[in-house]
Amino acid sequence: MTTAHRPPTLNDVALAAGVSRATASRVIAGTGYASPDARDRVNAAAGRLGYVPNLTARALVRGTGVRLVVAVSGAGPAVLDDPYVDRVVGAAARVCAPYGLGVALHWLPRRDPSGLRRLAEDRSVGGVVLVNTTQAVLRAVPAALRGRVASIGIGSALVPTFDVDNGGGTKAVVRHLYATGRRRIAMVTGPRWLSCAGRSVGAYRRVVRDAGLPVRLVRGDFSARLGRAAAREVLRRWPDTDAIVGISDATALGLIDGLRGDGVQVPGDVAVTGFDDIPLAAMTTPALTTATHPVGQIATAAATAVLAGRPVPPATVFPSRLVRRLSA
Amino acid sequence: MTTAHRPPTLNDVALAAGVSRATASRVIAGTGYASPDARDRVNAAAGRLGYVPNLTARALVRGTGVRLVVAVSGAGPAVLDDPYVDRVVGAAARVCAPYGLGVALHWLPRRDPSGLRRLAEDRSVGGVVLVNTTQAVLRAVPAALRGRVASIGIGSALVPTFDVDNGGGTKAVVRHLYATGRRRIAMVTGPRWLSCAGRSVGAYRRVVRDAGLPVRLVRGDFSARLGRAAAREVLRRWPDTDAIVGISDATALGLIDGLRGDGVQVPGDVAVTGFDDIPLAAMTTPALTTATHPVGQIATAAATAVLAGRPVPPATVFPSRLVRRLSA
DNA sequence: CTGAAAGCGCTAACAG
DNA sequence: CTGTTAGCGCTTTCAG
């Protein structure tokens, strides 16, 4: 018996309320004048009819976008598999919901970030949040994106940045290692091309050098798999290492697994630290000493900045705090 | 020097190519006839101008939506914090990108899933993927959503389902426990209202009963925190328990942590199993025995079904495989 | 304060 | 095969 039930349009509401479509529009969109009387009649009609504005039509006429793009640069599309990316997308999706926007996920080939131009020209794109941002990406950001783009990572004059205080967090971690008696501290880093990871490495270098300790770096990629391999490599190159700083919690977990596979005690023989404080970090054995990383807050701030369109400071840094547990 | 650079419209392309807008539309959208000559000219002009179709306009006229909504039901908006939800949203966002769609995330109050009606009326919504689906949610799905909705979890005549074979996976896990000599096997479940978790519990019951073993159930909620508490409770109620099945890997990790806190050896005294096989499961100590759960594949399939609009089978189940490691 | 009119950029019949 | 003609549903000048 239900008729085809075409969702009501603004026109239906206007008719039912006995006003013009223009007036109905004003009260629904909450913009422009309308007498209290008209306001009531329109709201009543809208409620009665179960009217839901068509955001597509609104976006078309207003020229605003309908989606926020999370653009992740990396060697291949596999970078999108990262749980970190999922968290960013999840947070962005929550920020978008009240605006009636959606989130799309794009891979930006590291060698060729020109896809950004298409995103800027695409009128259905309301804004862009950059992840794993590199200098090359920053250079490729078209001026037309001004005010509609933000970076989780490094930024530029055009691109405000939102990031955790990698340097401060890492410094606290390495100092903690030093304070607990470790003197031969290695670090497993992220991929070379990712400059935000560079801040962690820089902090490590500085603390270690200032203390007169040797610098011991092995390249990783944030994954547990490479962490495990890196454990072997550290032991092979510097058998007397007594602490290893992982660039991420996953790296640290891989490190612990790799060390244990070689019969090395953690933290007895070698202390291991992570970075991020993922929920599971508290549950592993030994529980992971790490630094906090409020990814959700960061992503929320970045997405909000992009959508609000109000001017934001060029850099917003979120503090990182040492979390002492059992692994170091 | 850059002029305001208004992005080119289809009209500009048509003009530049010397054809009508309709023809240009046909070749750009790849729909309908067009002579090879016209095709070339339009493509050339589009390329030269850097034309990017305005998907908002297209969606408006075609009546298709511009976003896919992931609707998660639960007691409070906190359900959206689940990493599982992030994975679903991430996968959906990837599927959406080529369609020019975005993903939005909505919380569906468990007591009142009527929000679904608004989603169905909202013409900007292209489709809905249900997560943590309950019978009440299924009942609240409006007929207008037919063909544009899918469930990750239980389904109905109107709502095709995509899910992992919880029953099969759990059965394999419990049988493994039995085969390795465990005879007093407890299980930590999910929240009562979530029927898909019920399939796991059902499988556990069946295997245990068929083997003439006692049924020992404690309620959890997928989180590590409650897993830890559940360990205590199991030990308190049934001190001779020699194995605990966790409803999720996080639960299992919490269980292991809780058991160890009480000086119980895993797997020596009590074997523990998880479910999901999250990446970290292989890296913990002891490495977790669990069952696979291809969340990404499932979410991808669900999102694809919703967007493709082609008829799909009422139920697609993804196999779960036992992964034997060290915890059981 | 309100209505009429003019589109936003695109697609979809329908005749040529 | 192609151009003409109408809109999709909404917002926004611009006169009343």
Higher pLDDT, A168 or B308: A168
Same domain? For B89 and B192 the reply is: no
**CATH code of residue A303:** 3.40.50.2300
What CA–CA distance (Å, rounded) separates A90 from A44? 35
- Give the containing element (helix H, strand E) for A44: helix A36-49
> Is the CB of B95 inside 8 Å of chain A's CB atoms?
no
Q: What's the mean pLDDT in B195-204?
A: 86
Q: What's the mean pLDDT in B85-113?
A: 92
Decide: helix, strand or coil at residue B256: helix
Q: What's the mean pLDDT in B239-266?
A: 94
Same domain? For A112 and A150 the reply is: yes
Instruction: Please give the residue range of the domain that contains residue B309.
Output: 62-163+295-317
In-domain check, residue A16: yes
In whole angstroms, D5 C1' to A15 CA is 27
CB of B9 lies under 7 Å from some atom of strand C: yes
pLDDT tens-digit map of B1-32: 444 567 899 989 998 999 989 899 999 888 87
Same domain? For B200 and B146 the reply is: no
> Is the CB of A5 inside 8 Å of chain B's CB atoms?
yes
The number of folded domains in chain B is: 3
In-domain check, residue A326: no
Q: How far is CA A107 from CA A80, A116, A130, A137, B303, in A?
A: 7, 10, 10, 12, 19
Confidence at residue B82, expressed as pLDDT on a 0 to 100 scale: 85
In whole angstroms, D11 C1' to A28 CA is 11
Residues of A in contact with B60 (CB under 8 A): 54, 56-57, 60
Decide: helix, strand or coil at residue B8: coil
The set of strand D positions with any atom below 7 Å of a protein CB reads: 1-5, 7-13
Same domain? For A171 and A286 the reply is: yes
Q: What's the mean pLDDT in B216-231?
A: 92
Decide: helix, strand or coil at residue A126: strand
In-domain check, residue B248: yes
Residues of A in contact with B100 (CB under 8 A): 67, 104, 122, 124
In-domain check, residue B4: no
Band (pLDDT 50/70/90 cuts) for residue B179 is: very high
Same domain? For A170 and A270 the reply is: yes
In whole angstroms, C3 C1' to B274 CA is 66
Same domain? For B105 and B251 the reply is: no
CB of A21 lies under 7 Å from some atom of strand C: yes
Confidence at residue A184, expressed as pLDDT on a 0 to 100 scale: 97
In-domain check, residue A323: no
Same domain? For B22 and B78 the reply is: no
Task: Among B2, B224, B228, select the one facing A279 at the smallest CB separation.
Answer: B224
Residues of A in contact with B104 (CB under 8 A): 93, 96-97, 100-103
What CA–CA distance (Å, rounded) separates B29 from B14? 13
Residue of B nearest to A279 (CA): B224
Q: How far is A194 from chain B (nearest CA, A)?
A: 22
Confidence at residue B4, expressed as pLDDT on a 0 to 100 scale: 54
pLDDT tens-digit map of B150-173: 999 999 999 999 999 999 999 999
Same domain? For A29 and A143 the reply is: no
> Residues near B249 by Cβ (< 8 Å), separated by ≥ 6?
B274, B275, B276, B277, B278, B280, B281, B288, B290
Nucleotide nearest to B29 (CA to C1'): C11
Q: How far is A97 from chain B (nearest CA, A)?
A: 6
Q: Evaluate if residue B103 carries a pLDDT over 80.
A: yes
In-domain check, residue B323: no
- Quick one: how far is CA A147 from the chain centroid? 18
What CA–CA distance (Å, rounded) separates B1 from B4? 9
Tell me if B283 sits within 8 A of A254, measured CB to CB: yes
Measuring alpha carbon to C1', the residue closest to nucleotide D3 is B20
Q: Evaluate if residue B196 carries a pLDDT over 70.
A: no
Confidence at residue B246, expressed as pLDDT on a 0 to 100 scale: 97
The reply to whether omega before A294 is within 30° of 0 (cis) is no
Confidence at residue A192, expressed as pLDDT on a 0 to 100 scale: 82
Low-confidence ranges of chain A (pLDDT < 50): 1-3
Same domain? For A285 and A303 the reply is: no
Same domain? For A258 and A172 the reply is: yes
Mean pLDDT of chain B: 91
Same domain? For B40 and B138 the reply is: no
Higher pLDDT, B129 or A32: B129
> Is the CB of B285 inside 8 Å of chain A's CB atoms?
yes
State percent of chain B over pLDDT 90.
65
Measuring alpha carbon to C1', the residue closest to nucleotide C7 is A61
| C-alpha torsion A224→A227→A231→A232, nearest 10 | 90
pLDDT tens-digit map of A247-299: 999 999 999 999 998 999 999 999 999 999 987 888 888 899 999 999 999 99
In whole angstroms, C15 C1' to B16 CA is 25
What CA–CA distance (Å, rounded) separates A180 from B257? 25
Residues of B in contact with A256 (CB under 8 A): 283, 285
